[in-house]
């Protein structure tokens, strides 16, 4: 799990994406508190978190057979939490469950 988390290539399962989502929520809360305490300088930490979340989202999109650009659709990440991935290999790689 979390093998190469900042890469945009490959596929991940729903479990890893769900854990990523939970981590992002808590990190966002922490960064918000830190940014208020440091007069906004802590806000710079949000960019690595966004990169991490987009990379994991792109890999999850690949698991269902879509491009990572689908992450730009509102609420698509919520859809990915419940959609089962392709059971066989697709153009993005082998089934991560196999």
Phi-psi region of 10 (alpha: psi -120 to 50; beta: other; left: phi over 0): left
Number of domains in the chain: 1
Task: Confirm whether 19 is domain-assigned.
Answer: yes
Task: Confirm whether 1 is domain-assigned.
Answer: no
> Is the separation of the CB atoms in 59 and 10 below 8 Å?
yes
End-to-end CA, the chain: 14
Check whether 49 has a pLDDT greater than 90. Answer: no
Task: Confirm whether 46 is domain-assigned.
Answer: yes
Tokens at 37, concatenated: 């305490």
DSSP-derived secondary structure letter, 66: -
Alpha-helical regions (H) of the chain: 14-37, 46-63, 76-82
How confident is the model over 69-84, as a mean pLDDT? 92
Task: Confirm whether 20 is domain-assigned.
Answer: yes
Provide the residue range defining the domain that includes 72. Answer: 14-82
pLDDT at 36: 80
The strand ranges marked E within the chain are none
Task: Confirm whether 92 is domain-assigned.
Answer: no
Check whether 26 has a pLDDT greater than 80. Answer: yes
> Is the separation of the CB atoms in 63 and 12 below 8 Å?
yes
How confident is the model over 3-24, as a mean pLDDT? 90
């Amino acid at each position: 799990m979390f093998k190469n988390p900042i890469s945009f290539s490959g596929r991940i399962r729903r479990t890893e994406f769900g854990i990523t989502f939970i981590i992002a929520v808590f990190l966002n809360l922490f960064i918000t508190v830190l940014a208020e305490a440091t007069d906004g300088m802590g806000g710079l930490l949000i960019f690595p978190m966004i990169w991490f979340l987009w990379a994991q989202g792109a890999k999850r999109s690949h698991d269902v057979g879509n491009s990572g650009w689908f992450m730009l659709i509102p609420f698509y990440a919520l859809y990915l939490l419940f959609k089962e991935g392709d059971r066989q290999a697709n153009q993005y790689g082998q089934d991560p469950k196999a």
